[in-house]
Structure 1
Amino acid sequence: MTHNEIDQLVKSWIVDTATRPANPRVQAIVLRLVSDLCKTIEDLDIQPSEFWTGLDYLTNAGKANELGLLTPGLGLERFLDIRADEAEARAGLQGGTPRTIEGPLYVAGAPESTGYARLDDGSESAQAEVLFMQGTVYDAEGKPLSGAKVEVWHANLMGNYSFFDQSQSHFNLRRSIVTDADGRYQFRSIMPKGYGCPPGGSTQTLLDQLGRHGQRPAHIHFFVSADGHRKLTTQINIDGDEYLWDDFAFASREGLIPAVSKVDDPAAIAQKDLRQPYSSIDFDFRLYGENQSAPAAEVERPRAAA
């Protein structure tokens, strides 16, 4: 069957059978997806058993709540970011902090404080390296933004996230920090570890078939928002991680790998009320102002809330 014939056949199924007004956007998307899938079946000679195996795979991935993990693993979430970058560039927006993927592990409702927060609950203090991270939120012209919100979340030493990992305390390693009068934020936490897809899970099963690993470098997620500005979704990677430029989720980007300073000066250690050296990261965020020519920066998607 030719592609033209497939297009006409699928149109007869999706469009010509409509007996009442359809949502034109949904209709156009379904028409395209079904047509392209039929063409793939034809071009690659996909057999019925292969088709139903694939459908069963997607069903099980949904049951395991892994579709949100599979999406970045196949590059789809990165592709959405590429398109958003292109749209902002067409609108004349350049020079802000690079965006990168959100991932599936945000939880709304984290405790909020002004200027400073401690993220960790202390349960891993004996094994963890203390991390201080600080910086300023600026607008596009370089003016500090007081009252901006910096939402931050990251994994523990086992590569797990609170809420999804029931062994952790409520909102461990999750906070919302409102910048102070000078646009500054700071938090104390622990140096996160990278993690991998669940062994034997849906995502890793497919990655194995593709000859790929499912590892992520250590990283810290952020939402940064301020009135009159476009919301930023981003994350920083921890420099030196073995998977820094080999992230299965394709989230590593230039401009999001700040230097990690090892602080061992006794006076600086004492000032932080610590007894051992710690790591420090300086990182500033630069937000774009609202722009009617660019698509909305706030992405509507299902998210967990505690």
Structure 2
Amino acid sequence: MARAPNARVREIAEAFVRHMHAFAREVKLTEAEYGIGIDFLNRIGQATNDRHNEGILFADAIGFSTLVCLQNNGDNGATETAAALLGPFWRMHSPATANGASIVRSPTPGPELFVSCVLKDAKGAPIAGAEVDVWHSSPVGLYENQDEAQADMNLRGKFITDAEGRFSFRSVKPAGYPVPTDGPVGDLLRAQRRHPYRPAHIHFLAHKDGFKTLITQVFVDDDKYLATDAVFGVTRHLVGDYRRHDQGTPPAPGMAAPWYTLDYTFVMEAGEAKLPIPPIK
């Protein structure tokens, strides 16, 4: 590897081999266990397709995705909004949606939700013209690509922040859900006697030139799995105030009690605007 012309490739490859050899020595890996490990990696690849990414799910389930995320975001704690893992369900081409409009694109029973957000820079100034992707699971805990009963792109939308850095939308309150367990990651969780559940949350991806792309999630504050998220994605910064309303004037016409509201402020760091590779199509 010393002849590799790219210094970063050389550094990563050397460290990877060094730690893999150290791992095998530490656990005294047997030949049978080695074979199981190779089969596990092969099955991850075989379980990945246009609608599901088992590789991302595996990285999530061992906390690796969150570790990489936390190492590369936060500006040493100077920002108020922590980044979070992308997850395996982001699709790049969500439909453009007007501020205040609904992202419910097919019948989706559940408590109504109105979300109001603002994007600011590190000095507190609003960020206008940012593109914000939103996606979340349904009240039965399924994303639309997992559920034939939902229309394509249901509970997904793309918004542009106004002059005050604001965007808003109507939806339904998401539910927590188990990560897919019919592949090798499910086998891993069962072997470790771990539950597969994620607490309810909404995903956000904010993108604008001059700012580091913000990928994050806002979790429902009363979810019982906040402290034991199967993919280690929850931080205190990411727990939102999903407030229930049983009376009063709803924030949008046609909403009936009880409804929920979420108000949240995101802070974007200065940096390079770069979109991730979509884990599914």
The question of a shared fold, defined as TM-score above 0.5 by the shorter chain, is answered with: yes
Counterpart check, 1:303 vs 2:270: no
Letter of the structure 2 residue corresponding to residue 303 of structure 1: P
CA distance in 1, matches of 2:32, 2:68: 32
Structural mapping, 1:57-206, within 5 Å: 57-65=40-48, 66-85=54-73, 88-89=75-76, 94-125=78-109, 128-206=110-188
Q: Choose which of 244, 255, 273 in structure 1 pairs with 2:226.
A: 244
Say what the alpha-carbon RMSD is for the aligned residues.
Answer: 2.2
Q: In terms of Rg, which structure is larger?
A: 1
Equivalent AA in structure 1 for residue 99 of structure 2: G
CA contact (8 A) 2:56 2:279 kept: no
**Residues 237-257 of structure 1, C-alpha deviation per residue, up to 9 Å, x if partnerless?**
001000012111111111211
Q: Equivalents in 1 of 2:276, 2:206: separation in Å?
A: 16
Q: Aligned to 1:107, what secondary structure does the other structure show? A: coil
- The residue aligned with 2:255 is 274
Matched, 1:48 2:34: no
Q: Which amino acid aligns with 2:105?
A: D
Deviations 1:35-64 (A, max 9, x none): 322232233221111101111011112211
| 2:190 pairs with 1:208 | yes
Q: For residues 39 and 82 of structure 2, what CA distance do their matches in structure 1 show?
A: 37
After TM superposition, the runs of 4+ consecutive aligned structure 1 residues lying more than 6 A away are none
* In structure 1, distance between residues paired with 2:251 and 2:270: 40
Moved more, 138-147 or 188-197: 138-147
Q: Is the 8 A contact 2:198 2:225 kept in 1?
A: yes
Letter in 1 for 2:209: D
1:46–1:159 CA distance, 2 compared to 1 (3 A): same
Q: Distance in 2 between matches of 1:299 and 1:172?
A: 22
The 10-residue stretch of structure 1 (198-207 or 101-110) with the greater mean CA deviation from structure 2: 198-207
Q: How far has the Cα of 1:300 moved from its partner?
A: 4.1
Distance 1:110 1:200 in 2: 27
1:166 deviates by 4.2
CA gap of 1:302–1:180, structure 2 versus 1, over 3 A, is closer
Q: CA deviation at 1:114?
A: 3.8
Runs of 5+ consecutive residues of structure 1 not aligned to the other structure = 1-13, 291-295
CA distance in 2: counterparts of 1:173 and 1:162, whole angstroms: 7
The structural deviation recorded for 1:232 is 0.7
Q: Which moved more, 1:183-192 or 1:273-282?
A: 273-282
Shift of 1:211: 2.7
CA positional deviation for 1:198: 2.4
**C-alpha spacing 1:229/1:22, structure 2 compared with 1 (3 Å):** closer
| Deviating more after overlay: 40-49 vs 99-108 | 40-49
Corresponding residue pairs, total = 276
| TM-score, structure 2 as length reference | 0.89
| Range with bigger deviation, 47-56 or 156-165 | 156-165
C-alpha distance in 2 between matches for 1:235 and 1:146:
21
Is 1:259 the counterpart of 2:248 in the alignment? no
- Once the two structures are overlaid, the 10-residue window that deviates more, 269-278 or 135-144, is 269-278
* Structure 1 residue 302, shift from structure 2 partner: 4.5
Task: Provide the rounded CA distance (Å) in 2 between the counterparts of 1:211 and 1:31.
Answer: 34
Q: TM-score, normalised by structure 1?
A: 0.82
Instruction: Please tell me the residue identity of whatever aligns with 1:192.
Output: P
